[in-house]
Amino acid sequence: MSEKDLEGLPGVGEKTLEKLKESGYTDLMSIAAASSGNLSTAAGVGAETASKIIAAARDKLEMGFEPATKVLKKRKLVGKITTGSKSLDGLLGGGIETQSITEAHGAFGSGKSQLAHQLAVTVQLPVEKGGLGGKALFIDTEQTFRPERIIEMAKALNLDPDKVLENILAARAYNSDHQIVLAEKAEDIIKENNVKLIIIDSVTASLRSDYTGRGTLANRQQKLNKHLHQLQKLADVHNLAIYVTNQVMSRPDILFGDPTAPIGGHILGHQATFRLYLRKSKAEKRIAKLIDSPCLPEGETVFAVTGAGVRDLKGA
């Protein structure tokens, strides 16, 4: 999209256009996917004018109802990132999907962060080898990101470790506000770089720390909901994958079966496109259960976390 496309929008003059560009609204899609409140603040215009600008952008992009055949064409643009394990890829219908949020939850040591590191490497592989030939953004909220682990995984795939590290843009988030700001700033980085994957490890840790007690639960969930919608917008607009890890809590009311439950409640449950439950077994063995997907059946598989990274379990 050119600047002329934006200039043709009602209420967008030279000064407004400059403000929009400074705030990251550089094409019709970014404006069409914006809320009137955010656009009003960014452009310095009234809410009514912002609504008209958004409506005009949506009309230009034909964002109304359309035949399902067109939806199918868009679905054909979806890419898949290999996890490093064929069995885990199979469970996910071919790998971690773009235009979607994939959430993995489980106790410590279950392989959530290991899978995050592995995806940051495999997304850089060419399409024919299970990657997307792109870069990764890694938002670290639990101080789990380890470049040394990336080097091990890169060497195992015969990749240049230095180049692999250069293609991973990492940031440490110190609280939930910082985490959300980093996600918002990702828009500019995505445009300047060929980013195909955003990782947040973990998406709930900072929120859990900042909002304690039942009295703050509603505010926490509202903030999480807005954060997840922002991530989904990035996935849709830029055709990239979102992988987030999530913590679990113990439920003492469960007398039989697994007492662990993911944090985030229904907000995260509804917003995540794919939900994986990971469990640690003996030695390198890990168990993955797909508990939610819009098009895949529930299922379970095993994989391994080895020195080389995420792989198929030998003999499985």
User: CATH code at 32?
Assistant: 1.10.150.20
pLDDT given at position 145: 97
Mean pLDDT of 12-16: 85
Q: Are residue 53 and residue 87 in the same domain, yes or no?
A: no
Query: Is 69 a member of any domain?
Result: no
Domain boundary among 13, 28, 60: 60
Is the pLDDT at 131 greater than 60? The verdict is: yes
Q: Are residue 199 and residue 237 in the same domain, yes or no?
A: yes
**pLDDT tens track for 33-46:** 888 888 888 888 88
User: CB of 131 within 8 A of CB of 125?
Assistant: yes
What is the C-alpha separation between 136 and 150, in angstroms, rounded? 12
**pLDDT tens track for 222-270:** 999 999 999 999 999 899 999 999 988 766 666 565 667 788 888 898 8
Query: Is 70 a member of any domain?
Result: no
> What's the half-sphere exposure (Cβ side, CA atoms, 13 Å) at 215?
0
What is the C-alpha separation between 181 and 255, in angstroms, rounded? 41
pLDDT given at position 2: 47
Query: Is 68 a member of any domain?
Result: no
The boundaries of the domain holding residue 304 are 75-311
Q: Are residue 54 and residue 105 in the same domain, yes or no?
A: no
Q: Are residue 12 and residue 86 in the same domain, yes or no?
A: no
Q: Give me the CATH number covering residue 133.
A: 3.40.50.300
pLDDT given at position 256: 60
**pLDDT tens track for 70-119:** 889 888 999 999 999 999 999 999 999 999 999 999 999 999 999 999 99
Residue type at 115 in one-letter notation: L
Is the pLDDT at 128 greater than 90? The verdict is: yes
pLDDT given at position 16: 87
Is the pLDDT at 25 greater than 90? The verdict is: no
**pLDDT tens track for 152-191:** 999 999 999 999 999 999 999 999 999 999 998 898 899 8
Count of domains for the chain: 2
Mean pLDDT of 142-153: 97
Residue showing tokens 């199918």: 72
